[in-house]
Amino acid sequence: MQYKTAWVLLHKFREILEKTKDLTPLHSEVHIDGAYVNYYIRPKNFRHKRIDRRKKRHQCKDKACVLVFRQRAKNQNIMKGAERSIIALIKEENTQDILDLTQRLVKPNSTIHADEKPAYDSLTFHYDLWRVNHSQEYRSIEGITNNLAESFFARMRRAITGIYHKMKNKYLMFYANETAWREDNRRKSVKEKFEHLLRCTFNTLPSRHFTGYWQGNKMPEALFGIHSLQTT
C-alpha cells in the first residue's frame, strides 16, 4: 500500500467519526479546557534578530485552540474518568465562543470545572462554575481539578509529537475527534470498537473531501467557533 492510499483511507475513517459524533448536550460534571496548537515559531539563530514571541503580532497565523468538553462518568467504580468528550475548534479562548459552545454542548445548571482564564467568567450566570488556578495549584483546596480535560490533551500532544508531528488546521478536527473517540471507547474491546466503526462506515455517505483527493479535490479551510461543530 502506498503512503497516499493509507493517508486518504485513514482520513476517510476520521471523517466518518466526525460525521457520526454525538452532539447531545453533556450534563452533571463537565470539565472544559483549551489547548493551543500550531503556535511554535522557531527562533532566529542570532539573538539580535529574535522577536518577542509572546506578543500577539508576532504569533503564528495558523495558531488555533482545541476546546474539549468532557463529562465525568456517573459510576466511577465501573469507569474511571470521563465517559463522553466533545471537541470544538476556536482561534483563541474568548468569552463569546466559549459561551456559545457551552450553551450548545452543556445542559443548563450543570457543574463545570474550568481553569482561571477570564474567558470562562461568563459561565457563572448559567452554570455551577468551579475554578482551579493552575498558576498556583493543580488541585484546589476544595478538591477542584480540571484533570479530565488535561488528560485528554496529554494524550493528544503525545500523538502530535510521536505519531503525526503536525496537524494542519483544516484536518485538526479530524485528529482531535479521533483522539476523543479513542478516549471514550478505551474500555471497549478491539472487537467492539471495530464493529462500532464498521456500523458508522455503512451508515455514512461517501466522503466529499477525500474522494479524488490526489486528483485535486482538496479540503476547505477550517471553521472556528460554533461553526466547527458542523459535520457536512
pLDDT value, residue 89: 97
CA distance 61 to 28: 37
Question: pLDDT digits over 153-163, tens only?
Answer: 999 999 998 88
Question: pLDDT digits over 42-86, tens only?
Answer: 888 888 888 887 787 777 888 999 999 999 998 888 788 899 999
pLDDT class for 26, splitting at 50, 70, 90? very high
pLDDT class for 222, splitting at 50, 70, 90? very high
For the whole model, what pTM was predicted? Answer: 0.91
Whether 128 shows a pLDDT value over 90: the answer reads yes
Secondary structure class of 52 (helix, strand, coil): coil
Q: Answer for the pair 29, 110: CB distance below 8 angstroms, yes or no.
A: yes
What domain range is 223 assigned to?
3-229
**How many domains does the chain fold into?**
1
CA distance 224 to 101: 11
Residues 6+ apart with CB under 8 A from 105: 23, 25, 26, 69, 86, 88, 229
Which of 163-167, 197-201, 213-217 shows the highest mean pLDDT?
Answer: 197-201
pLDDT value, residue 232: 59
pLDDT value, residue 87: 96
187-211 burial, b if ≥16 CB within 10 A, otherwise e?
A: eeeeeeeeeebeebeeebeebebbe
Percent of the chain's residues with pLDDT above 70? 100
Whether 120 shows a pLDDT value over 90: the answer reads yes
